[in-house]
Structure 1
Amino acid sequence: MNKNTLEKLVWSIAFPGFGQLLNGKYIKGIFLIFLEVIVNVQSNFNSAILSSFLGDISTSIEQVNFQWLLFYPCLYFFSMWDAIKDANKGRDTSPLLFLPFVFSAYFVTVGIMFSTKITIFGVLLGPIFLPMLFVIPGVVIGLLLRKILLLFRQ
C-alpha cells in the first residue's frame, strides 16, 4: 500500500467520508459524513464511547441505541474500503481487497448484537470494546479467505 493510499485509509478511520474528500469525491464524502453524523447522534455513540472509556459499561449499554448502532460497522468499513479503492483510481492493484473490510463489518455487527451478553474473563466489555475486539477475527478471516480465493484464481 503506497503512502497516498495509506493516508486516505487513515483519514477514513478517523472519520468516515474524509478519505473520499481527499480523493476529490466531494459528494460521496459529504454524504458519508452526513450519514456518519446521523447514525452517531441517533445511536448515542459518543456518549457510549465516553462511558466505556471511563469504565462505566452498564451506563454505556443504557445510553446506546442498538437499532441505530447496528448501521455503524457497515458505514465505517465501507468508507475505508471505498477510500482505498478510489485512491487507487479504480485500478485492481489488490484483487478482492474488500474481503477484510466486509468480514470486519460482519463481525463487528455480531459483536454489537452480543455485547450485552458476552464476557471475557468475567468482564462485560459492552457495546464499544467487544465490537472493537471482533475486528480482529473479521480482518483475519477476510485476509485468509482472500488469500485462498487468490490461490484458486491463478
Structure 2
Amino acid sequence: MKAVEVLFWSIALPGFGQLLNRAYIKGLILLLLEFLVNVLGNFNDVIILSFHGNIKMAIEQANHQWLMFYPCLYFFAMYDAFKGAGGGKGPYFFLPFVFSAYFVTVGTIYSSKLTLFSQLLGPIWLPILSILPGLFVGPLLKGYLQKS
C-alpha cells in the first residue's frame, strides 16, 4: 500500500513521494524544479485559462520552452517515488512512466496547433489526453519484452 500512497502523493506534487520515502534532498530538488518550471512556464495561469475554456489565451500565456520539461520531471518523480517505496520490482516496470512522459511531451509540442473534432485543446487538455497512448504503449511493450 505504501508504494501506491507515495505514487498518489507524487501525482499531487513532484517531490512529495520522495519526501515520504525520506529521500529529502531528492524530494526538495524535485519540488524546486517543479516550482521553477511551473513559474517560468506560466503553468498555473495556463491551467486556469484552460479550465475556463480560454484555450487561445492559454496558448499565448504558455511558455512552451519551459512546459516541455514538465512531463519528464513529473513522470520521473512518480517513477522514482514508486520504486523507492518498493513498487515495480518486475523488469520493464518503468516503461509506462517513460512512454507517458514521451507522449505528454509530444502533446505539449503540438498543443498550439493540433485539433480534435475541430477543437483546439491547448497546452493542458491535449497533454492530459496524451497520457492515454503512453498508458497503452508502455504496458504493451513491457508485456512484449517480458515474453521475449
The alignment's TM-score, normalised by the length of structure 1, stands at: 0.94
Q: Distance in 2 between matches of 1:92 and 1:36?
A: 24
- 1:93: how far off? 2.1
The correspondence for 1:143, drawn from 125, 139, 144, is: 139
Q: What is the deviation of 1:92?
A: 6.3
Q: Which residue of 1 aligns with 2:4?
A: 6
How far has the Cα of 1:116 moved from its partner?
1.0
1:89-123, CA deviations, whole angstroms, 9 ceiling, x for partnerless residues?
xx862221110000011100100111111111111
Partner of 1:31: 29
Q: Partners of 1:20 and 1:73 in 2: how far apart?
A: 17
State the partner residue of 1:101. Answer: 97
CA-CA distance at 1:26 after TM superposition? 0.3
Of all paired residues, the percent bearing the same amino acid is 57
Question: Aligned letter for 2:10?
Answer: S
Runs of 4+ deviating beyond 4 Å: none
Q: Structure 2: any 5+ residue segments left out of the alignment? A: none
CA distance in 1, matches of 2:42, 2:15: 19
Unpaired stretches in structure 1, ≥5 consecutive residues: none
What residue is the counterpart of 2:57 in the other structure? 59
Alignment of 1:52-91 (within 5 A): 52-88=50-86
1:26-57 alpha-carbon deviations (Å, 9 max, x no partner):
00000000000000000000000000000000
Which residue, out of 12, 27, 44, partners 2:42? 44
Quote the residue 1:133 is aligned against.
129
Deviations 1:58-97 (A, max 9, x none): 1100111000000000000000000011001xx8622211
SS at match of 2:130: helix
